[in-house]
Amino acid sequence: MNCRRCGTPLRKPGDFCLTCNTANADAVVSEFEPDRATLTVLDEDAIVGETTVTTRPESAERLSEVQLRNFAGRVADEIRRKRPDTVYAAGEREPLRETRAQLHHEFYRVPDARTDRDRGRGRSSTESGRDGRDVSPVVEWVLDRRGDRALEVVETPPREKIGGSHSTLIGDRKGRRAVGTVAEHPHVKKIVPGPIDASGTGSRTGLRAKATRAGTNGNVRLLLRDGSSVQENRIVTTAMDRETGERVRDDLNEALRDAELQDE
């Protein structure tokens, strides 16, 4: 593949051209399996390339911490070569989480529900894409939504997004971590803590956090439970309707699971 602007040959399809500083792709879809990651490179609705990064676990059960970090680092390096606007990801949680930590791109996780039917069948499970090529359900899911209006990115620092008449959060440090995790999301404008209801049934599971179903205006609620206390916090997002609000909600719940504040 050559650069679309100056014609310089690119080492890999979709690479950013260093000769004329031109991007040749705007998104990367990363699908993680235990021992590999498949990266599909997109330029608008066109698939311009695909790369597979593999690793070999030291044990039959899982990657070691060092291997995981190195595997994710190789995936992150491949993504940086493209300098995409957006990264979409699905699959194995640990390498996905580590790769996201090593990147500074806008990062979306494709909801697991979209790929449940294909678990255990790997990349052999494909569908015919809009250009006639066989693509995985994950890539097809992304292509179907590429035409959606992009959500506004909020540049406000996370700490400044929290406000309202109620300043107390249940769960002490974990409660603050849950709210901070939500505040870090680029499509969250503001978090308004709600009153605390201590009339619930006690629980020994510790603080649990969950983003509830989006409303018609795209906003969601952050439900915190700690023992017999419950607190519902309003989250104002940049989503414009329920469908786009659900995308933000999925991201928030994934982030809360990554922070070990939500049951698997």
Q: Which amino acid is at 154?
A: V
pLDDT at 181: 93
Per residue in 125-173, pLDDT (tens digit) is 455 444 555 789 999 988 887 766 567 878 888 889 998 766 788 988 9
In this prediction, residue 161 carries a pLDDT of 93
User: Average pLDDT of 107-134?
Assistant: 53
> Is 230:209 a contact under the CB 8 Å cutoff?
no
Q: pLDDT, tens digit, for every residue of 27-77? A: 999 999 988 999 999 998 899 999 999 998 666 556 788 889 999 999 999
Give the C-alpha separation, 31 to 158, whole Å.
Answer: 29
* Distance, first Cα to last Cα, the chain: 42
pLDDT of residue 106 exceeding 60, the answer is: yes
Calpha distance 90→30 (Å, rounded): 6
Instruction: Show the tokens assigned to 175.
Output: 């409660």
Among residues 104, 243, 244, 235, the alpha carbon closest in space to that of 179 is found at 235
Q: Which residue type sits at 121?
A: R
CA 126 to chain centre: 22
Say what the pLDDT of residue 117 is.
39
149: which DSSP letter? P
In this prediction, residue 148 carries a pLDDT of 61
Beta carbons of 176 and 231 less than 8 angstroms apart: no
Distance CA 42, CA 217 (A): 30
DSSP secondary structure code for residue 244 in this structure: H
Residue 242 has pLDDT above 70, yes or no: yes
How many Å apart are CA 125 and CA 77, to the nearest integer? 27
